[in-house]
Chains A and B, each alone.
Chain A
Amino acid sequence: GAGVSQSPSNKVTEKGKDVELRCDPISGHTALYWYRQRLGQGLEFLIYFQGNSAPDKSGLPSDRFSAERTGESVSTLTIQRTQQEDSAVYLCASSLQGARMNTEAFFGQGTRLTVV
């Protein structure tokens, strides 16, 4: 695809259930990021992938959150035993590798997660 694709676009789940959020980055982008955006708030960093390794998981808020990435392709963010505080928009972004390149991060539309 031409851009970063996220699915589902909306997800309503019951408290205590597990959810999986999917991100398809732009082809060829080796870096992939997950951010969380609560209503009216800024972007909260969750995790960063370089290829299929995650050198920075410092933003994951608890052990209920995990993420994986297959090669330089799809990433899945999993939230186990969801809580109402997990309700937010989860944004995925990807970028080309390279500290010396003017490489912007391209964002997907996000997945709006509502825990009821």
Chain B
Amino acid sequence: QQQVKQSPQSLIVQKGGISIINCAYENTAFDYFPWYQQFPGKGPALLIAIRPDVSEKKEGRFTISFNKSAKQFSLHIMDSQPGDSATYFCAARDFNKFYFGSGTKLNVKP
């Protein structure tokens, strides 16, 4: 059973547009929700993270929105750029174990 469900599987956005990736979970013990960005041939790298006592966190063009009651969180990429084209993974931590979503392949068209 997948602990963190991520959608969509792939996403195409025009340059300058907004990219939105959604994740949902069931385990209320999760206490930390990071997003990772992965370029081809590289390991995932932390992009931005949020704790469940915060509803939104913004870092530059990247924003996490967190809805604790709905057990959902999402990544918004504003003013999407071709350099943002990568695979994005949401994750959730239960104590020291991280559970990852299945990934979203983002393609930003010039």
Contact = CB atoms under 8 A, between A and B. Distances in A.
* A and B interact: yes
A43 B6 CA distance: 12
Nearest to A91: B43
B44 A107 contact: yes
B102 A42 contact: yes
Interface in A7-47: 31, 33, 35, 40-43, 45
Nearest to B34: A104
Contact of B100 (A43, A97, A100): A43
Q: How large is the interface on A (under 10, 10 to 19, 20 to 34, 35 or more residues)?
A: 20 to 34
Contact of B45 (A31, A48, A97, A107): A107
Q: How large is the interface on B (under 10, 10 to 19, 20 to 34, 35 or more residues)?
A: 20 to 34
Determine the main DSSP class of A at the interface with B: loop
Contact of A56 (B31, B46, B97, B100): B97
Interface of A: 4, 31, 33, 35, 40-43, 45, 48, 50, 56, 91, 93, 95, 97, 99-100, 102-110
